[in-house]
């Protein structure tokens, strides 16, 4: 973790070569009332107990089910599991994944709440199917998490549900909420449902995170476009998935302070990654791409620039971005 992201002192960078237990379980929620409020209470407690055991965790809630992904020493994980088994706020706990490997969660705590209306029975069916196939496919915990908590949607998703083979693109605005408007527009233009999540890290308030799965047509790869709030870029769960993005699309505002700040945050977030997404800067006339490219390049990131005639128009933004995303398909292998 990079100190530029204002990390609290107890956050340490993963130790190179360190191997830990990675465990992922799902359980039915018995929480009456606002679940995210209860997750904040769990966070306060877990942060003290987990950190003492060097266990990092991400907790999600969707479709009436909790899911938690933990990474740490075996004894620490077992201690958390013993505490969890006695907790009346959930039941029917099932371990979906257990392996040893490198840490991927860079922060002790993250949490996410998916706001849609998946039926608990449908989630359970996906859970059972994935548990049966996860071992054979030797899935990494991040893949198990992604498939369960953020399943593919949209017309191109049918038949591809068990695959990670789709392009992931993040959109973030240097100022304002244009990234969310772009995702909303994509949903309308492609008749696809936008999924909304709330995300929070170890200390802060939650932020919005919307995504849409867009089918680019016959022969084209399915693409997930994720709008992320600027103040959510330091959240461990988001950073754990950063290597999966082919591109980070930056909606620049033309004010160099804000634009440079955004690039610096992403440089910090990507600094420990071996695979780094390509930055695609979308700016109006007068945007200083050369200066932004220099900041990105100094931080080890590739910066592609795109001029947009009207940065307030989602359709114009996407028309400028999409060819660049397609072009780089030939150069990026890690989707």
Ligand X SMILES: Cc1cc2nc3c(=O)[nH]c(=O)nc-3n(C[C@H](O)[C@H](O)[C@H](O)COP(=O)(O)O)c2cc1C
Instruction: To the nearest 10°, report the CA torsion of 40, 178, 223, 329.
Output: -120
Fill in the per-residue mask, 65 to 84: x = in contact with ligand X (CB under 6 A), - = not in contact: -x-x-----------x--xx
Q: Is 45 in the site for ligand X (CB under 6 A)?
A: yes
Which of 11, 22, 24, 50: binder of ligand X (CB under 6 A)? 50
Cα–Cα distances in angstroms (integers) from residue 122 to residues 66, 74, 197, 262, in the given order: 14, 32, 19, 39
CB of residue 200 to ligand X, shortest distance in Å: 14
Which of 49, 91, 125, 329: binder of ligand X (CB under 6 A)? 49
57 in Cβ contact with 50 (< 8 Å): yes
Which of 6, 19, 34, 87: binder of ligand X (CB under 6 A)? 87
Task: Give the burial class of 216: count Cβ atoms within 10 A of its Cβ; 0-12 exposed, 13-18 middle, 19 or more buried.
Answer: middle
Nearer to ligand X, 60 or 311 (CB): 60
CB of residue 59 to ligand X, shortest distance in Å: 5
Which parts of 100-167 fold into alpha helices (H)? Answer: 120-137, 141-149
Q: What angle do CA 163, 331, 186 make, to 5 degrees?
A: 60
Nearer to ligand X, 39 or 233 (CB): 39
Which of 60, 61, 55, 48 is CA-nearest to residue 23?
Answer: 55
Site for ligand X in 8-37 (CB under 6 A): 27
Q: Is 209 in the site for ligand X (CB under 6 A)?
A: no
Q: Is 43 in the site for ligand X (CB under 6 A)?
A: no
Q: List interacting residues with ligand X (CB under 6 A).
A: 27, 42, 45-46, 49-50, 57, 59, 66, 68, 80, 83-84, 87, 89-90
């Amino acid at each position: 973790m990079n100190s530029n992201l204002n990390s609290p002192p107890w956050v340490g960078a993963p130790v190179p070569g360190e191997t830990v237990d990675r465990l992922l379980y799902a359980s039915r929620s018995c929480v009456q009332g606002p679940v995210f409020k209860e997750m904040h209470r769990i966070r306060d407690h877990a942060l003290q107990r987990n950190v003492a055991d060097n266990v990092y965790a991400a907790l999600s809630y969707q479709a009436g089910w909790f899911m938690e992904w933990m990474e740490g020493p075996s004894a620490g994980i077992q201690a958390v599991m013993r505490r969890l088994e006695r907790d009346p706020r959930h039941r029917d706990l099932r371990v979906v994944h257990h392996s040893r490997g490198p840490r991927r969660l860079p922060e002790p705590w993250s949490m996410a709440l998916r706001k849609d209306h998946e039926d608990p029975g449908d989630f359970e069916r996906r859970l059972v199917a994935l548990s049966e196939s996860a071992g054979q496919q030797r899935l990494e915990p991040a893949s198990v998490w992604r498939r369960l908590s953020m399943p593919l949607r949209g017309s191109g998703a049918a038949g591809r549900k068990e695959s990670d083979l789709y392009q992931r693109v993040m959109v973030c605005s240097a100022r304002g909420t244009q990234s969310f408007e772009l995702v909303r527009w994509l949903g309308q233009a492609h008749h696809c449902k936008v999924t909304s999540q709330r995300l929070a890290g170890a200390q802060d308030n939650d932020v919005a995170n919307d995504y849409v799965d867009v089918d680019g047509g016959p022969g084209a790869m399915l693409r997930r476009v994720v709008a992320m709030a600027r103040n959510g870029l330091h959240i461990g769960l988001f950073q754990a998935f950063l290597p999966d993005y082919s591109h980070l699309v930056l909606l620049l505002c033309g004010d160099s302070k804000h634009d440079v700040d955004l690039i610096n945050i992403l440089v910090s977030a990507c600094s420990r990654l071996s695979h780094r997404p390509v930055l695609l800067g979308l700016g109006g006339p007068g945007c200083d791409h050369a200066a932004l490219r220099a900041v990105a390049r100094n931080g080890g990131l590739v910066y592609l620039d795109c001029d947009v005639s009207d940065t307030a128009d989602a359709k114009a933004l996407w028309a400028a971005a999409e060819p660049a995303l397609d072009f780089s398909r030939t150069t990026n292998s890690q989707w």
